Amino acid sequence: MTNFNLLQQSKNFINDYSNTEIFTYHDGLVGIDRTLPKQRKIRLPQIDKIINASFMASDGVTIATRIYLPVTTKQKLPLIIYYHGGGWVIGDLDYMDGGCQYLAMHSEAIVISIDYRLAPEHPYPIPQNDAYEGFLWAVENHLQLPIDSTKVGVAGDSAGGNLAAAVAVRALEENGPKIHKQLLIYPALDATKIYPSYEEFGHGLGLDADEMHQYYEHYVQKNEQLQHPYISPKLFTQKELLPETIIVAAEYDVLNDEGIEYINELEQAGVVAEHFILPGLIHSFFSKMNYFEQQTNDATALLADFFRR
């Protein structure tokens, strides 16, 4: 790590959580520690309301959501549906609460965070179905929020970025509501390939390469499914149909190279796409208010600027 020009906040986070073991194995059984990094709760004055709500999935299970309404004088607001990260295995609404507040503030949009079910208890396609059904529920606006349905975005970090990108593909394939833009934070986009960034940044930088492989193993039970674009959105072949897309990434992250390739492929297909790599940061920086509040603010400002255009 001595060759990496890490921000002090990144060093502090690594020092505090480098020995955390999410997965343990005993007698063929896996244990998962879902204890999340401590979060300092915030309440931005630019957020008018935070509403806890829910919808019923197609299999009858209630899925929690959280809605963020910014202070504004506008009669109608754009909508952003957000999916938290955590390797499809950990994470919840509180995990991304601060980041969602900043995103709503900067974008002047209603942000709805979807608390999809987690693997391995609920493997693919359950989290993806929850993500898509949450997207439909949000756009259908059952709560009669002041939503401008002509400007809808999907967003997420890491595994949540994967779900957001997969929702964009599925909305096309199922003739769903039009998605205006994708706002992705270091997304997982390709489960079929080991990229050079896995080797370069694969240990001790917020997300280890081995850990990422374990997340995929618990999320996807059949290897042949890894090539499906709902799991590997980068493999979707009709990229010219996808929404305008931004990726905000950390400098030291195993997922960097697939994000760079995805953006390049979108641009080659004629899709407006932008890519930002924030210096000195590691995977998992987003929404960690104890360590990275300023960087979360900066990241959401970039996302919001792109979304508002």
Catalytic residues: 158, 253, 283
d(CA 277, CA 298): 12
Q: Is the dihedral of CA 237, 238, 242, 246 positive or negative?
A: positive
Q: Phi first, then psi: give them for residue 217, nearest 5 degrees.
A: -60, -35
The neighbour count for residue 128, using CB atoms within 10 Å, is 22
CA dihedral 282, 253, 43, 55 (to 10 degrees): -160
94 SS3 class: helix
Using omega within 30 degrees of 0 as the cis cutoff, is the peptide bond preceding 120 cis?
yes
DSSP assignment of 100-166, as one string? HHHHHHHHTSEEEEE----TTTS-TTHHHHHHHHHHHHHHHTTT---EEEEEEEEEEETHHHHHHHH
